[in-house]
């Protein structure tokens, strides 16, 4: 639990104890009730509300009202009220432990973080008609970058926010500065980030913010963008159309059809990555808002993605040579990247890959059978393609797929978060270090500590470097 949450719970417990053994309507109780009311307001403003803590608020308000307005009698009613309050507080405490909604970690780079949204030139897009998908959405592109100080955010305010977020596990994460000017002294290398399936939310904000704090401009992609004037009902309908199951296991024909549709969406997304880089190059030449003009190094561009977004990153690196490096975070490979591999520099980082058994391949359970076919093809091709093209594979033990996204921070209980038997925050911080080192090495030509031949500097991590 967070600091002000703990203080608020303690204040409520004190009032509840007084409620059971002495009149609550006295000067001390009134003073304590005032303190509880101040804590409610401060907690909401500083830390923000979260669902597991909601039961505390009605108890706090009821106790304040009782202390200020009720008669000077407790008796049986006081005991019943105290028992009810303890139940509510207990539910909140257990909920905050099971679903802590931990805030993202403080970034390690020297820069505060700015954010802004850009529009794409839709005229550069190919026809949306397709054999497999009738819905091809426009992407929403949000920039995350090293920020300078804006007129609305002075240095003192930034330092105060950083201090608060360093000690409070609040959600949302430390605030980025909306539409801030770039703060990096040198031109920023450009990275394009793609989320996992279906692409409707940003799943690696921890990583994106870390890269921005280290001097990279990250264009984070989500689907779909919401055109101006679109109603909420229409927009949500389009989101639902996009969010179809990734695989259809109902028959062999339907499974192969869904794989073909995934390959097509992969090509669409890779094309979007190229469009985004082209748009950023135009803004670097002339930004009407003068924020990005001359501040981007589009010749040092990379692409990174998680899960299906990792497949998009691999395919983009293969199809568009303007992207000089790619990172696939625990994603399968599809399309030409599956068949031919990805040109180095290429980093694949994820969990231990266990080759499916013959029993899995022959299973009568459709999901087991088809997933085994995909894994066997992917793992076999990944090994041979890395040997042929070069690249780096980083393996983190005791992890599962959710460990490589912010979803790992949902709860420390693995049943709710789906993570492996390992500290979730450590995995995300380790992921950050390897991705930052990889882009520093491949785009900035820096000598890095983690991606060298020999034993891995971090315990338990395996690093395999393949040279072409």
pLDDT digits over 426-456, tens only? 899 999 999 999 999 999 999 888 888 777 7
414 falls within a domain: yes
pLDDT of residue 414: 65
Question: What pLDDT band is residue 172 in, cutting at 50, 70 and 90?
Answer: very low
Residues 135 and 73 in one domain: no
For residue 165, the domain's CATH number is: 3.40.50.1820
pLDDT of residue 317: 97
Q: What does the mean pLDDT of the chain come to?
A: 84
Mean pLDDT, residues 420-431 taken together? 88
pLDDT of residue 320: 96
The answer to whether residue 243 scores a pLDDT higher than 80 is no
228 falls within a domain: yes
Residues 122 and 42 in one domain: no
105 falls within a domain: no
297 falls within a domain: yes
Task: Please give the helix or strand (H or E) that residue 395 lies within, else none.
Answer: strand 391-395
Q: Which of 98, 125, 150 is the last residue of a domain?
A: 98
Q: Which of 74, 98, 122 is the last residue of a domain?
A: 98
Mean pLDDT, residues 85-96 taken together? 86
Residues 284 and 390 in one domain: yes
The tally of domains found in the chain comes to 2
pLDDT of residue 291: 86
107 falls within a domain: no
> What is the Cα–Cα distance from 7 to 336, expressed in whole angstroms?
57
Residues 91 and 129 in one domain: no
Which residues constitute the domain of residue 130? Answer: 113-466
Residues 395 and 360 in one domain: yes
Residues 202 and 240 in one domain: yes
What residues contact residue 109 under an 8 Å CB cut-off, 6+ apart?
Answer: 146, 210, 212, 213, 214, 215
pLDDT of residue 124: 56
227 falls within a domain: yes
Residues 161 and 68 in one domain: no
103 falls within a domain: no
What residues contact residue 255 under an 8 Å CB cut-off, 6+ apart?
Answer: 247, 248, 249, 366, 370
Q: Which of 48, 71, 98 is the last residue of a domain?
A: 98
The answer to whether residue 241 scores a pLDDT higher than 70 is yes
108 falls within a domain: no
Contact assessment for residue 8 and residue 36, using Cβ atoms and an 8 Å cutoff: yes
> Is 107 or 76 the better-scoring residue by pLDDT?
107
Residues 290 and 313 in one domain: yes
């Amino acid at each position: 639990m967070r600091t002000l949450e703990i203080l608020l719970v303690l204040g409520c417990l004190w009032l509840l104890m007084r409620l059971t053994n002495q009149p609550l309507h006295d000067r001390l109780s009134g003073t304590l009730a005032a303190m509880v009311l101040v804590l409610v307001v401060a907690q909401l403003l500083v830390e923000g509300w979260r669902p597991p803590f909601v039961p505390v608020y009605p108890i706090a308000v009821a106790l304040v009202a009782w202390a200020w307005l009720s008669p000077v009698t407790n008796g049986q009613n006081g005991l019943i009220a105290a028992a009810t309050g303890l139940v509510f507080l207990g539910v909140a405490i257990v909920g905050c432990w099971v679903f802590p909604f931990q805030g993202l970690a403080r970034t390690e780079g020297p820069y505060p973080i700015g954010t802004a949204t850009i529009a794409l030139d839709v005229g550069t897009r190919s026809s949306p008609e397709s054999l497999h998908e009738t819905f091809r959405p426009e992407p929403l592109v949000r920039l995350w970058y090293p920020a300078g100080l804006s007129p609305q955010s002075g240095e003192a305010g930034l330092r105060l926010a950083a201090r608060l977020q360093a000690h409070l596990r609040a959600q949302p994460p430390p605030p980025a500065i909306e539409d801030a000017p770039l703060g990096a002294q040198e031109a920023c290398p450009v990275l394009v980030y793609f989320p996992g399936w279906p692409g409707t939310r940003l799943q690696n904000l921890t990583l994106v913010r870390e890269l921005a704090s280290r001097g990279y401009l990250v264009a984070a992609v989500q689907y779909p963008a919401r055109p101006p004037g679109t109603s909420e009902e229409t927009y949500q309908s389009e989101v639902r159309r996009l969010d179809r199951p990734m695989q259809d296991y109902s028959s062999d024909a339907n499974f192969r059809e869904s794989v073909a549709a995934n390959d097509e969406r992969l090509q669409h997304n890779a094309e979007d990555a190229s469009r985004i880089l082209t748009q950023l190059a135009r803004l670097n030449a002339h930004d009407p808002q003068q924020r990005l003009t001359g501040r981007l190094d589009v010749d040092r561009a990379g692409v990174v993605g998680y899960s299906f977004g990792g497949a998009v990153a691999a395919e983009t690196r293969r199809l568009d040579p303007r992207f000089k490096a790619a990172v696939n975070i625990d994603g399968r490979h599809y399309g030409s990247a599956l068949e031919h591999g990805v040109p180095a520099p290429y980093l694949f980082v994820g969990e231990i890959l266990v080759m499916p058994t013959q029993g899995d391949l022959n299973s009568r359970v459709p999901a087991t059978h088809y997933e085994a076919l995909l894994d066997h093809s992917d793992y076999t091709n990944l090994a041979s393609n890395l040997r042929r093209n070069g690249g780096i594979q980083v393996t983190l033990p005791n992890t599962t797929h959710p460990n490589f996204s912010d979803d790992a921070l949902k709860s420390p209980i693995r049943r709710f978060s789906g993570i492996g038997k390992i500290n979730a925050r450590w995995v995300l911080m380790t992921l950050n270090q390897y991705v930052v080192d990889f882009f520093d090495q491949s785009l900035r030509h820096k000598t890095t500590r983690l991606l060298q031949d020999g034993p891995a500097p971090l315990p338990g991590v395996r690093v395999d470097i393949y040279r072409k």
